[in-house]
Amino acid sequence: MEGTQVSGIGTLYARGRRSGIERVVPLRYTVTPGDGVLISAGGRTEQWPLNLRAHPDCQIASHRRRYRAAEYAPRRFRLDPV
């Protein structure tokens, strides 16, 4: 459906900003009409937003697609399909 957004809980795979080791983070996401994904950091102590700033290539497991993260507001990211 055009304009419909789908929400769910999924797993974000992102590289650690210092170690480069793949990190796994459960989070809530929203799929936008253009197949992008919106995610938001819940708490200020979470490290994954810092990891995405350093290494924007990531994956949402439930979609099995690669994305590139772009921060559009403090601690809020839009993931665009690669």
For 18-49, what is each residue's pLDDT tens digit?
999 999 999 999 988 888 999 998 778 899 99
Question: Rounded to whole angstroms, how far apart are CA atoms 66 and 46?
Answer: 22
Q: For the whole model, what pTM was predicted?
A: 0.83
Q: What is the pLDDT of residue 1?
A: 42
Q: Which residue has the higher pLDDT, 7 or 4?
A: 7
* 71 belongs to a structural domain: yes
Give a yes or no: residue 52 inside a domain. yes
Total number of domains constituting the chain: 1
Is 45 part of any domain? yes
